[in-house]
Amino acid sequence: MELTILAVPDCPNAPLLRERLAEALARQHAPAVTSHVVTDAEQAERLGMHGSPTLLINGSDPFTEPGQPASLSCRLFRDMDGAVSGAPSVDQLRRALSGG
């Protein structure tokens, strides 16, 4: 499994995503996580960044909405209860990592 975090410089939510991802991976053999700092719209488009931070699993963003354009903007996520956060919840990450 290939995991990549895409974020703009100094994204305040990238550390939260890394923390939650580490927790989601704690019970399994954790693959390496690659991070890329994205500085312009062309990079965002080419890499598939739909806001900062974006997690790519094997090159795909499991949290994007159909038709959502590439973006350098701050990204927000809703959990199952509708609460807004700067990163997916640990449970959402576990589901995405398991392909569900």
Condensed to tens digits (0 to 9), the pLDDT of residues 43-82 reads 999 999 999 999 999 999 999 988 899 999 999 999 888 8
Mean pLDDT of the chain: 93
* Residue 25 DSSP one-character state: H
| Alpha-carbon distances, residue 25 vs 34, 53, 96 (angstroms) | 14, 18, 11
**Residue 29 identity (one-letter amino acid):** H
- Give the pLDDT confidence score for residue 87 in this predicted structure: 97
pTM of the model: 0.91
Going by pLDDT thresholds of 50, 70 and 90, the confidence category of residue 32 is confident
Spatial CA neighbour of 2 closest among 49, 53, 58, 48: 58
Residues in the chain: 100
Q: How many CB atoms lie within 10 A of CB 11?
A: 22
